[in-house]
Chain A
Amino acid sequence: MSLASDLYNSRSEIDFRPIWRRSLPLSFALIVVGLAIILVRPLNQSIEFEGGALYSVPVESSVTVGEVRDLLAIPEARIQRIENADGTIDIRVQIPTELAPIFDDVGTELATIARTGEQISRDTVGPTWGDQITNAAIRALVAFFVVVAIYLAVRLEPKMALGAIVAVVHDLVITVAIYALFGFEVSPATIIALLTILGYSLYDTVVVFDKVLENGAEASGKRTDYPELVNHSMNQVLMRSVNTTITTILPVASMLIIGALVLGGDSLRGFAIALIIGLFLGAYSSIFLAAPFLVSIKERFPDAAPAERS
């Protein structure tokens, strides 16, 4: 039978072990490279993190950036001209937080160039706010790791909890590194997407490890080779991983495409890019990082007695 049909009928016997011998070091190398990129290239943070004011003005297509710059006469202003998918033009103006006293005046001036019947949108953010929400997110993240590690250690095995956390860290670091590398804007939407990735990645890994436990319990009493056990379990859940990733990516991809087509923009895309990157990484890391990592720590630090918790 062909591989596709084997996969469909859960009869595949792909030997992952040779792949794992390469993918494990590769994944760790990726984490290191990712961290290096994040350190070297600062993230392109959205106004929510930087502070200041951001105006979005729907204008006639004849309006140019130069005209707006002359109108405002504020050297610090960052002015962008954005063409939406439906052909309309938005002017985006961002002003640093030091100019807070003139935020209102700028709004009034920009309103004069807006297309008739359109409102301008304005965001203002205090200078310390970004740090505060970043701190809140980091606190939540740390608490999450601690609680989830404890939960997984109890429900699965401590070594599995470690493997799952390593896989999640891998996914997060690489996603953030991609944002840093390509200069994608990091907004609160991105943070939400990152947190979602966290959930997906863990979900994937939990499914794999749960299968390993289940098969381990069935094989208890017999002499089993742990890598073989994990390899076999991996084959069993492979189609599940593939199908889950496909069913999750379908709605997110439609969000990315529709968001980009209808809006040319922002809000939805902020979520979708990070989600798609993270979903692929989550599927990859549960198969090619979490599983071999578990095998390798089991080999290096064998259990005193076979753990049979459930």
Chain B
Amino acid sequence: MNSQGVRALGLVIVSLAAFTATLISGNQPLLGLDLQGGVSVVYQPTGNDVSDEALDEATEIIRNRVDALGVAEPEISRQGQTIVVDLPGVEEQQRALELVGQTAELRFRPVLIDFGLIDLSEPDAETDTTSDSGTTTEDGLAPLRRDRQTDEGREPDEDGSTTPAETLSPLEVQITERCLTGELTPPEEDIADQVVLLPSETGSVLCLGPTLLTGTALESASAGLGSSQGWQVNPVFREGPDGIDLFNQAAAICNQALEACPTARLAIVLDGLVQSAPTINSSFFSRDRIEITGNFTPEEADDLATALRFGALPVELEAQQTRTISATIGTDVLRSGVIAGLIGLALVAVYLLAYYRLAGLVALVGLVISAMLLWSIISFLGARLGLALSLSGVVGLIVAIGVSADSNIVYFENVKDAVASGKRVATSVERAYRNSISTIIKADVVSLIAAGLLYFLTVGAVKGFALYLGIATILDLIIAMVFMRPMLLWLAESQAVQHNPRLLGLPEGAVTTVTIKKLSANAPTRKKAKR
């Protein structure tokens, strides 16, 4: 077997292997919303000039929220200036939408108790300290416990009143109710002025007091390499009562380790996730002289600075398009799409076989290879990247059947031309390939340009269509270059075709083994007298 044959066989083996592996691994194409039902929302920031960074952060926040909802196989992607959220088969769609679309707020909350990395089923105050404050903290529950032991119950709360009837202060009551239950505060109960139990980036769990100030007090933030303590983050607060003054009030509370901030640490919380909880070591800061330090890696410092900047100017999202597709409609569309595809494929097969006989078989085997590879690629994209196959993608694929058949038709017709001009069948198969592949490449490149531009310049359904059209076009190119010629050549040289060229859809008189000199009735340059 020659090298062409080896490559063709290699392609068949690769596609079979990929398909088998996909079947064994149980990967299946991930179906888009329009095929299985669910909610799809396109969000766009209100106001112009939202930075790429802020949009990326907003996308990340939405991703975290959706993960927290426990939606299986969500698809969240930033597309240009929009964020597309696809939640398949969500039960309580309204609730999901409300949660996902909220504006994320950056909140500064005092750390009441740091449970560290604990098993939530057994909140144990004796576990160790936080990992990202950099400074060690004392046992978080200690002040609380001291209060209880003194049994005074007269800790002044915000009104300055006391609660003689109870042994616990209102804050302690809240702590007991909301932190010592051992359950993280769900997103809808994450209210600014209440005590909450939230996880941190590093996985530890913190009991946090009511919000002291929000991100709007911030002006900006940057990460940089500090003089002594390695990577650090420098937040800059706005001037005046809504900026640095608010922060200094919070700093005073924490620095003195009052009841409202017994650990002296102030947590920076973005959308229910503690980004960092540094210890406050002064009660007065100037607005642009604040350093957050603590064994940061450059990435951690960057992430924190990004979160702070986002908090300073939170992206407000507006739902531009919301689609709710019931599961019944989705399944109906999928079913008819699949049936249409199969019938279409069968019709194409019958036609090609009837017209081109055995050569049609080459086209069909090519289509089967393409189908196996596509199934594998789409399943892979679904499993690894969460990229779903939507209705528009299915249409792209059905369209690709035509494109793929066309490459074969271009080739076969060229072979016929060559045979008609009196060349041997096997020679024709070789000669025609050179002309055909150049045409096929030109035409496929045009398709790829279309797919690429559509993919990068549009949003939503058109993007999905472009992606799958592009993939299918590349596969068509590979099959045309690797598989088509050796397979046809092999058929042309087979005994059956040698005896009966009509099997390849060629005219009866086609020359097979012997070259007969014959004047072509159809030479390309022949001039006709009529005009």
Contacts and interface: CB of A to CB of B under 8 A. Distances in A.
Interface of A: 8-11, 13, 15, 17, 48, 56, 58, 104, 118-126, 128-129, 132-133, 136-137, 139-140, 143-144, 147-148, 151-152, 155-156, 188-189, 191-193, 195-196, 198-200, 202-203, 206-207, 210-211, 214-215, 218-219, 222, 224-225, 228, 232, 236-237, 239-240, 243-244, 246-255, 257-259, 261-263, 267-268, 271, 275, 310
Interface residues on B, range: 35 or more
Chief secondary structure at chain A's binding surface:
helix
Interface in B325-371: 325-329, 332-333, 335-337, 339-341, 343-345, 347-348, 351-352, 355
Contacts of B42: 129
Interface stretch (B6-14, B105-113, B276-284, B455-463): B455-463
A251 B442 contact: no
Interface in B453-473: 453-454, 457-462, 465, 469
Interface string B495-507: 0000000000001
Contact of B462 (A123, A195, A218): A195
Given A136-B459, A210-B435, A252-B399, 15 more contacts: A17-B531, A123-B324, A124-B321, A126-B321, A140-B457, A148-B446, A151-B445, A203-B447, A206-B446, A244-B402, A248-B406, A250-B344, A251-B341, A251-B345, A258-B343
16 contacts: A13-B522, A123-B324, A137-B462, A144-B450, A148-B450, A188-B392, A188-B461, A198-B450, A206-B439, A207-B439, A210-B435, A251-B341, A252-B402, A255-B337, A255-B395, A257-B340
A124 B325 CA distance: 11
A232 to B, nearest CB: 7
Contact of B319 (A124, A136, A202): A124
Given A215-B524, A252-B344, A247 B457 contact: no
Given A247-B402, A251-B402, A199 B446 contact: yes
Contacts of B423: none
A209 to B, nearest CB: 9
Nearest to A147: B449
Interface string B390-409: 01100100110111011001
B276 to A, nearest CB: 36
Contacts of A198: 450
B323 interface: yes
A189 B392 contact: yes
B358 to A, nearest CB: 16
Contacts of A192: 392, 395, 461-462, 465
Contact of B449 (A15, A151, A248, A254): A151
Nearest to A271: B395
Q: Considering residues A191, A198, A207, which has the most beta carbons from chain B within 10 angstroms of its beta carbon?
A: A207
Contact of B410 (A122, A151, A240): A240
Contacts of A136: 80, 457-459
B413 A237 contact: yes
A58 B327 CA distance: 12
A52 B524 CA distance: 60
A255 B321 contact: no
B443 interface: yes
A262 B461 contact: no
